[in-house]
Amino acid sequence: MTTLSHNLHAPALLSLPDAPCYFCADPACAVVYFSLEGDVFDRTQVRALGYEKTGDLDDLVCHCFDVSGRRIADEWQAGSNRSRAYIVEQTREKRCACEARNPSGRCCLKAIGGIEAGLDADPAVSGVRRLEALLPLAERLAQASPLAQQAYGRILEQLRTRGLPVAAEDLREYDPVQFRQVVDELAAADLVVADAAHARVLGAYPLTTETTDHQLSVDGVRLFAMCALDALAVAPVMQARVQIDSRCAVSGAAVRILQDGDRLELAEPSDVQVGIAWQDTGGCAAHSLCREMVFLGDAQTAAQWREAGEGMRDIYDLNQALALAKQFFLPLAIDTGQRTVSP
């Protein structure tokens, strides 16, 4: 009766039944508690329903430490498990009071696991959500000034067609002052990577002239991708013929992938995987998160790599990674003047 006595309003609170009562978790049902003897308590008689009854992420999932389902979901998509880890720690130390505080009378960790599992049902979709939470490139570009948006497209075109850093003299439609202004704006939003003086742009997602493990040939032009996911995005988003030469982050073994637009022509090894070690970008994803988005030689290697990540690493087979890359980068897609971006 502990659960009922802490979760019912008066007058229902004053007439608790002798028979054991059970919790109804069906969101469509008005009943919250019932007994086999016919006792029924509905939503109007309960102080707070909570996520386990409503299925609404905005409601509390952990009543002991005031954590909503939304908070769990947002942290999970951002690559964090801070609240869950705190709840686990407090539960281990027996500082919780689930039977009294939670309307279900149960520990919330199973419900939290269900929220996270639901977000992971489609690996590509959940991956895009987590990546957008950490690095909302499309949102940032949409919020940039019209001049900066135009410059971003021109910078990406220059990188793709020349494979060299982009300076003011390469974009003659901008005077040096305008070029510096747009580079300042784009770099502040982590849309481009520039040199220390902001005189040259070294990279614009997904392309870079900085040396990485992911070398590209884009319609014959040699340059690099910022990470494994970026490398896979170039061909479908730019509708280009791309060869990727990379390596397994664990074994160092060579990885080679050939793409022509949306078509995957070759993958060596055939079972190559992509791993993401989720972390904060620190203001420059190219020099932090991107370095932890890697190719892995096969499924067994990928599984071992994930196990070493203490729950903060995800792995994707090649088809899942291609879908993730395309979904993330298509909102940034720009006609480069060479080929038209596919719809």
Nearest to 328, CA basis, from 192, 121, 132? 132
State mean pLDDT over 292-309: 95
Q: Which residue in the block uniquely carries the two structure tokens 């707070």?
A: 48
State mean pLDDT over 202-228: 97
State mean pLDDT over 170-192: 94
Q: pLDDT exceeding 90 applies to what percent of the chain?
A: 75
Whole-angstrom distance, CA of residue 330 vs CA of residue 336: 13
Higher-confidence residue: 327 or 155?
155
Give helix 123-134 / helix 318-329 axis angle, nearest 10°: 40
The confidence score (pLDDT) of residue 25 equals: 94
The confidence score (pLDDT) of residue 335 equals: 35
State the CB neighbour count (10 A cutoff) for residue 232. 29
- Whether the pLDDT of residue 195 is over 90: the answer is yes
- Whether the pLDDT of residue 183 is over 70: the answer is yes
Nearest to 233, CA basis, from 170, 322, 131? 322
Whole-angstrom distance, CA of residue 148 vs CA of residue 135: 18
* Banded model confidence at residue 309, pLDDT cuts 50, 70, 90: confident
The confidence score (pLDDT) of residue 340 equals: 34
- Whether the pLDDT of residue 343 is over 80: the answer is no
State mean pLDDT over 3-20: 87
Query: What letter would DSSP give residue 199?
Result: S
State the CB neighbour count (10 A cutoff) for residue 162. 13
Tokens of 33: 């508690």
Nearest to 321, CA basis, from 227, 246, 253, 254? 227
* Banded model confidence at residue 130, pLDDT cuts 50, 70, 90: confident
Q: What is the pLDDT of residues 267-298, one digit of tens each?
A: 999 999 999 999 999 989 999 999 999 999 99
Q: What is the pLDDT of residues 83-116, one digit of tens each?
A: 988 998 999 889 999 999 999 999 999 899 888 8
Domain boundaries, the chain: 2-121, 124-332
Q: Where are the alpha helices (DSSP H) in 48-95?
A: 51-54, 69-77, 82-92
* Banded model confidence at residue 327, pLDDT cuts 50, 70, 90: confident
What's the CATH fold of domain 124-332?
Beta-Lactamase (3.30.450)
State mean pLDDT over 23-37: 94
State mean pLDDT over 190-194: 97
The confidence score (pLDDT) of residue 53 equals: 94
The confidence score (pLDDT) of residue 178 equals: 93
Query: What letter would DSSP give residue 210?
Result: S
